[in-house]
Structure 1
Amino acid sequence: MDQTEALRLFDAQLRRDAPPETPTTRIDAGGGVVRQVGGGSHEWTGVLWSDLDEATADAAIAAQVQWLHTPEAAGREFEWKTYSHDRPADLRDRLLAAGFQPEEPETLMVAEVSEVAELTRGAELPDGVRLVRVTDAPGVDLVAAVHEQAFGTNSDRLRMRMLDQVATRADTVSIVLAMAGDEPVCAARMEFYPGTDFAGLWGGGTVEKWRGRGIYRALVAHRARIAAAHGYRYLQVDASEDSRPILQRLGFAALSVTTPYLITAPA
């Protein structure tokens, strides 16, 4: 894989020229910044892309903070999604000075779908574990429960997002559960980005007592096959430190580090 070209396409297709995520999402572009404004409380709002330098960064940040004081923004959580290759080099320091707070960084990893499919050929689930496609609210509830067990975080917003996806945009998402009998032990989803070269892998998490048995690898393989059938060239992941080594063995390359910087608008 040409990593420079893959990163260029990622920045262009999923950041700078990103289409609205949902029918109620709006994209605002101007002042060197692309901002997404979600139409619902569970929809993501924040900065997808910025093209700034030392002379323009502070004004661009101030403009976003000013928007947070408008009635439309009231009470919203707002994320400036930074990447380590963004300019200026001290963008993160400037965001801190403006009141943004960083979350845990993750590694942006990208791979050719064909390579992942080849490297995961033969990946199998443990005996007694099967994959179930999630298409309804009870399945979403099980995925949300796995997410909370695997990551130790509240999944209310994720649950609302997935419910919206399976109800109104089922063609843009593939959600799967690994079940051991009646027990959900791993869950993951893939989001399709029509008109781009990318499909995104999200939420891959295994409950603790089932880790180390190849389930995560099998779910990557399953989603790679689906991405290939849909004609996508690349898979993209924001990888945690736990999943990064596994993904590297499956053909993914680390292209950047992404760190969310959060701020909440006044109510």
Structure 2
Amino acid sequence: MDHDDVLALFDRRLRRDARPDSGSTRIERDGAVLRQVGAAHDWNGVLWSDLDEAGADEVIAAQVRYFAGLGLEFEWKTYGHDRPADLGERLLAAGFIPEDEQSVMVADIRDLPTEVVLPEGVRLVPVTDAAGVDLMAEAAEQAFGKPNPAQRQRLLDQLAQGSETVTMTVAMAGDRPVSAARMELVPGTEFAGLWGGGTAPDWRGRGIYRALVAHRARLAAELGYRYLQVDASDQSRPILQRLGFARLTTTTPYVRGVS
């Protein structure tokens, strides 16, 4: 996998040519910025920008005014190779709060293991209804330590819209959800994104995360996708590297509350 070629493809397909991620969102181009806008529970924010040092602060201020006018919190999703080099510092000065830096990991699906190996007593269950979404939300709360009602509502919306671009899976240990993950397909591109994958603390280290990656890799391969992409935490990055993922760049979300 050629790092520079795949990074350029990633930027073009998933950022500059991004599509709305649900029926309640829209993509807007505003000069050197591409943003997604939707309801309060949707992901609202800047997906891509091409700024220079001279005009960056003015463009940032314009986005703050725009989302404030809509009464929406929003995120500026920055990447390690974005310009200008001090974009993060400029966002801080404009009142944004940074979240943890993550590694953008990418793998050619043909190089990944697709055999699903689960610990005894654990099974993977596809999520097809609201009850399944509730199980996913329960697993995520165990894994990450806090509820995420906005994420739950987004998943319910995707089910209601009959979206064929999202697959959701929950790992069950008996009647208890212990991990959950989803895959978001990007039609017309070579990429499928892996999201979630958090596991309850007492079930970590037993291979559930790896099994969920293998499960989704197999599904993506069957659908003709070439690359899997993950925004990986420091905890999941070593696992992904052992599976065959490479670090493409970094990403840091900067969040601006409603003014």
TM-score (norm. length: structure 1):
0.94
- Residue 41 of structure 1 pairs with residue 40 of structure 2: yes
- 2:110 is aligned to 114
2:178 counterpart letter in structure 1: V
Partner of 2:93: 97
For the 8 Å contact 2:110–2:226, the answer to whether it is kept is: yes
Partner SS for 1:217: helix
Aligned partners of 2:206 and 2:5: how far apart in 1?
34
Q: 1:55-113 CA deviation, whole Å, 9 max, x = no partner? A: 1211111111221332xx11x11100000100000011111111111011111111111
1:187 is aligned to 180
Counterpart mapping for 1:212-251 below 5 A: 212-251=205-244
Q: CA contact under 8 A between 2:52 and 2:84: conserved in structure 1?
A: yes
Looking at structure 1, the residues matched to 197 and 52 of structure 2 have their Cα atoms a distance apart, in angstroms, of 35
Percent of residue pairs identical: 63
Unaligned runs of at least 5 residues, structure 1: none
1:256 to 242, 249, 256: 249
Native 8 Å contact 1:165 1:172 kept in 2: no
SS of residue matched to 2:18: coil
Aligned pairs for 1:79-94 within 5 A: 79-94=75-90
Q: Which runs of 4+ in 1 moved over 6 A?
A: none
Quote the Cα distance in structure 2 between the aligned partners of 1:253 and 1:31.
Answer: 32
Determine the C-alpha separation between the residues in 1 that align with 2:67 and 2:155: 26
- Counterpart CA distance in 1 for 2:41 and 2:21 is 12
Greater CA drift, 122-131 or 256-265 = 122-131
Corresponding residue for residue 68 of structure 1: 67
Shift of 1:125: 0.4
Q: Supply the distance in 1 between the matched residues of 2:3 and 2:174 (Cα, whole angstroms).
A: 41
Q: CA deviation at 1:264?
A: 1.5
Query: Which digits, 9 at most, give the CA deviation of each residue in 1:27-47, with x for residues without a partner?
Result: 111221111111x22111110
Q: Distance in 2 between matches of 1:226 and 1:123?
A: 12
1:123 Cα offset (Å): 4.2
8 Å contact kept, 1:198–1:235 = yes
Q: Name the CA distance, whole Å, in 1 between partners of 2:179 and 2:158.
A: 19
- Aligned partner of 1:31 in structure 2 is 31
Equivalent residue of 1:262, what SS?
Answer: strand
Matches within 5 A, 1:171-182: 171-182=164-175
The count of residues paired between Structure 1 and Structure 2 equals 259
Measured after TM superposition, the shift of residue 121 of structure 1 is 4.4
* Alpha-carbon distance in structure 2 between the residues aligned to 1:182 and 1:64: 46
| CA–CA distance in structure 1, aligned partners of residues 136 and 181 of structure 2 | 8
Give yes or no for the alignment of 1:59 onto 2:58.
yes
> Secondary structure of 2:154's match?
helix
2:203 counterpart residue number: 210
Alignment partner of 1:139 out of 123, 132, 145: 132
Pair 1:9-2:22 in alignment: no
Task: Give, in whole Å, the separation in 2 of the partners of 1:188 and 1:21.
Answer: 17
